Amino acid sequence: MRERRDIVELWKRGGAVALATLVHVEGSSYRRAGARLLIAANGDYAGAISGGCLEAEVIRKAQWMVREGARIERYSTLFDDTADIPYGLGCGGTVEVLLEPAGTPEFEACMQALAATLQGERRRVITQLPERGAAFSRCVLDADGVTLFRSEDRIVDAARPLFDETLLPPQRLIVFGAGDDAKPLMGMAEMLGWRTVVIDGRAQWARRERFPHAEKVATALEGIAIEAEDAVVIMTHSYEQDREWLGHALLMQPRYLGLLGARHRSALLVKEAASALGWALERACAGLFAPVGLDLGGDGAEAVALAVIAEVQACVQGKLGKSRRMTAELVEEQIANGPPTRYAHTQCAL
């Protein structure tokens, strides 16, 4: 998502000459279909369509290749060159790249769709590829299927080769807690291109200058709705605040909900939140990651941030293996045993 922001920023600056989009992959490829590379007349570019193998070639030739309109270029990433596929780049497959000139209505519609997703909107972009006798054309739909753009003199024909993609908004991370340990967490999320929100009831912490790149910095949830696709991390270090936010977040059922703190403290919070909601412990624990973050080891705010970001990324991508999740049995065990007489620093952090 970070590169999508870079592409949109370069487009807004003006001077773009061509857009390259990876539309088909056979075998292995560093990037998946939908990866983009925007090229400017002055040599600036944003995005990538490979691991660095194709970019120099495409940047050098793109303006010349699109002088007569959009076209499909096929590149090999196999070790062995062939006469018709002249690039042996060693990645193990072949890729097809749509090259289109900037400045056309179709190009502008695509860029506007990308920009809209950065504001939390969803777009569907259907592109008729210029091959097998088909004319290049494009249709853009919003999340409700309403047509926002359609090529005026060309019809998108389902019987022709199409590249149909749904452009999702960047992942949104809502962090309850604006302490110093929230800064590296927010920074890593921003590096990934995620949208970020910081909430803390303490106005001295929840200040814009502390989180200049956050979408919102607030002292209350007013005007901020937790959506099903959001990731939420609770880390205020205030028991009362954590209890309030945890109960609210459990009700909203975001796709990821993590709670920072020692196991005994987290167990007490979960039990109290479940009781206030009238929920069974099993139900409260089912939607909660506590201790928060993958067990990566390390110490300090940056290590904790890395563990949390890695777990959120794995969760939203459907790649999460074993994690250290809270269970009803663990809650009861922690409460029955009482707090440990001595906490290790990493136990408190994670």
CA distance 100 to 9: 19
Please, how many CA atoms are within 13 Å of residue 247, restricted to the half-sphere of its CB?
Answer: 16
Of the chain, the percentage scoring pLDDT greater than 90 comes to 71
The whole-number pLDDT of residue 133 equals 82
Top pLDDT among 77 and 61 is at 61
Max avg pLDDT among 41-50, 106-115, 214-223: 106-115
pLDDT, mean over the chain: 89
312-334 pLDDT, tens digit each:
999 999 888 766 677 888 888 88
The whole-number pLDDT of residue 327 equals 81
CB 199 within 8 A of CB 221: yes
In sequence order, the β-bridge partners of residue 150 are 139
49-63 pLDDT, tens digit each:
988 888 899 999 999
Q: Where are the domains of the chain?
A: 8-101, 104-169, 172-349
End-to-end CA distance of the chain: 27
CA distance 210 to 263: 29
CA distance 55 to 67: 19
172-349 belongs to which homologous superfamily? Answer: NAD(P)-binding Rossmann-like Domain (3.40.50.720)
Give the start-end residues of each E strand in 188-291.
195-199, 216-218, 231-234, 256-259
Identify the helix (H) or strand (E) that includes residue 207: none
The whole-number pLDDT of residue 323 equals 66
12 class by beta-carbon count within 10 Å (0-12 exposed, 13-18 middle, 19+ buried): exposed
Q: What backbone torsions phi and psi does residue 327 show, to the nearest 5 degrees?
A: -125, 160
- Local confidence band at 79 (pLDDT 50, 70, 90 cut-offs): low
- Local confidence band at 182 (pLDDT 50, 70, 90 cut-offs): very high
Name the pTM for this structure: 0.82
The whole-number pLDDT of residue 324 equals 67
Q: Strand, helix or coil at 328? A: helix
The whole-number pLDDT of residue 337 equals 85
CA distance 217 to 252: 20
